[in-house]
Amino acid sequence: MEIMSGERFSAFSFRDFRLFWIGQIISLSGTWMQSVAQGWLVYSLTKSPLHLGMVAAASSLPILLFSLFGGVIADRYPKRDLLLLTQALSILPALSLGLLTSSGVVTFWHVAMLGALLGTINALDIPVRQSFLAEMVGKGHIVNAIALNSAAFNGARIIGPVIAGMTIAYLGIPACFYLNALSFVAVITALYRIKARGEIRSKSEGMRRDFAKGIRFVVDSRDIRNVFSLIAVFSIIGLPYISLLPVFAAEVFQRGAKGLGFLVGSSGIGALTAALNIALRGDIRNKPRFMALTSLCFSAALLVFSLSGTFWFSLLAIMAGGWGMVSYLAVANSFIQITVPDALRGRVMSVYSLVFLGTVPIGNAIMGLIADRMGTPRAVTVSGVICLIAAMMYARTHLQPRDAI
């Protein structure tokens, strides 16, 4: 059944997308459980914000190194089969971390190496997953599909951390890793039942030329280039605050693992609200202006969060930051996917993955060092100021009197 792209939740009219979405929200809840448990485990082992940054960097460095290659693969092979492979492989790091933690032999280096393994898998998984959305619902519904996919991600971002906080408190850290390993079964089952294979493929002209075509498309488009530039600033300077939340929970607010779950969950509430807002609206008419406003919201909220010493006020600030960041990213993602030709989608989305996630290890390393030297709250204050300056520069171009958003 075809539904006009402006209608609410139109992507749910496609059976394949419904199956994919349900599997995603279960699997991603497990992923967020592991993220919280992993951060708490590293902080318990080291008591060091620098080591938290190092683990986050190890997890995302492979995306920086290999995501462009993943984009070439995404454009060459059936995407559903590739996703089945990546989801099955993702069980291994979670299960291994659970066994190591249960046996009491886990070290910081175990966590870092398994994080790097999962990051390598994600370097292929992310561009394939992003480009597969358009093949399940078509370009006419891609904005809605991206918003609903973001809603699943951020709904899990609420569910997972809260469950993780309770699980750590009552069952221990290893239980979070085992539950994450189990959660991948849901998305694997959904993928087996999906009829779409992701058959839109490009004719290969050799690895070098395939790479070059995707990069050239991004470089030649000024609007996309500007969007990617702001994403890079946020990824390098802004998003690393997430890896430092265990320090805020333990030292700044003295709330322990449950407090960490509430901090991550509050960011998820704001993010989920943003995704649902975009899904309900169907589309954003003036996307550049909307991105300018939401980038300012994220940056200002990050600055306020870093300066607040009150737990409940900080929850509100981080919630606003989650709303701003996901609003910006969801609309930026849809803006890119509407613009890109089908045959280049995997490669361009691999550039998106590279800029959005692949640059995070640089930021995590920098923020970890700064936090170790001058304190975590001050380090996040610096990042908030830099992000605000970058957002203001972007907004100067796009916040002119125009049509309504």
Q: Domain map of the chain by residue range?
A: 10-398
User: Tokens standing for 189?
Assistant: 């089952």
DSSP 30-61: HHHHHHHHHHHHHHHHH--HHHHHHHHHHHHH
pTM of the model: 0.72
C-alpha–C-alpha distance, residues 116 and 401, integer Å? 46
Dihedral of the alpha carbons of 210, 215, 216, 219, in degrees to the nearest 10: 180
* End-to-end CA separation in angstroms for the chain: 28
Element (H, E) at 162: helix 142-170
C-alpha–C-alpha distance, residues 119 and 357, integer Å? 10
User: Tokens standing for 130?
Assistant: 């992003």
C-alpha–C-alpha distance, residues 186 and 52, integer Å? 30
CB distance 33 to 161 below 8 Å: yes
C-alpha–C-alpha distance, residues 25 and 204, integer Å? 34
Dihedral of the alpha carbons of 137, 283, 73, 71, in degrees to the nearest 10: 180
User: Tokens standing for 137?
Assistant: 């619902």
User: Tokens standing for 1?
Assistant: 């059944």
Q: What are phi and psi of 381, to 5 degrees?
A: -60, -45
Kindly tell me the burial class for residue 328, based on how many C-beta atoms sit within 10 Å of its own C-beta (0-12, 13-18, 19 or more): buried
Cβ-based neighbour number of residue 48 at 10 Å: 16
Kindly tell me the burial class for residue 174, based on how many C-beta atoms sit within 10 Å of its own C-beta (0-12, 13-18, 19 or more): buried
Encode the chain (405 residues) as per-residue pLDDT tens digits. Answer: 333 344 577 888 888 999 999 998 899 899 889 988 998 899 888 887 778 778 877 887 888 788 778 777 877 788 888 999 999 999 999 999 999 999 999 999 999 999 999 989 988 888 888 888 878 887 777 778 888 887 887 777 778 877 888 888 889 999 999 999 999 999 999 999 988 665 555 555 556 666 677 677 777 777 788 888 899 999 888 888 887 888 888 888 888 777 887 888 888 788 888 888 887 776 677 788 898 999 999 999 999 999 987 888 999 999 999 999 988 988 888 888 777 777 777 777 778 877 877 777 778 778 878 888 888 889 999 999 999 999 999 888 776 655 444
Q: At what angle do helices 15-46 and 142-170 cross, to 10 degrees?
A: 40
CATH architecture entry for 10-398: Up-down Bundle (1.20)
User: Tokens standing for 314?
Assistant: 């900080």
Q: Dihedral of CA 170/171/173/176: which sign? A: negative
